[in-house]
Structure 1
Amino acid sequence: MYDLTGFQRDLLYVVAGLDEPHGLALKDVLDDYYEKEIHHGRLYPNLDTLVEKGLVEKGEKDRRTNVYTISGRGRREIEARQDWESQYLDS
């Protein structure tokens, strides 16, 4: 997880928190969080990076819509990150 950008990390957390979201559902959540529009040119390349790194799995809902799920590795990376953060936040 150390090699992800902040945006990629946020994207990974959102994928983990939703049930098989599609790209536009992810975009809506991130638009609200960042308080500005996230363009497709930013969203989809970063999703592809998470897929390439094995943190997210990409499936097909229909011919036009992809869905994303957190992989086992992605879940482990989030848990490790939370453990690391808690060392500094719980004291």
Structure 2
Amino acid sequence: MSLNTSITGKNATEAFEDVGHSDEARGLLPDLLVGELEQSSAPSKAKKASSNPAVHSAVEKGSNMMYFVPLTLLGAYFAWRFYG
């Protein structure tokens, strides 16, 4: 099962319909409904983006480090095993 993170925390009705779920999956929907979000209480994208530019920049840099650090450690481990 793959999680589509582009709809995480958002209304997934359209994505659910696009996939073409079975009648059994549609029968499970009422039990999975957590609640309904009023449009007035939904956070706006402009508010999120302007919250703190330094934090946004750090998150982008951190996402690059998310790949660099484990791959570097993995490479170092294999080098140690091969040459050690």
Structure of higher RCO (CA pairs closer than 8 Å, 6+ residues apart): 1
Q: Is TM > 0.5 for Structure 1 vs Structure 2?
A: no
TM-score (norm 1): 0.27
Which is richer in helix? 2
Which has the greater radius of gyration? 2
Which is richer in strand? 1
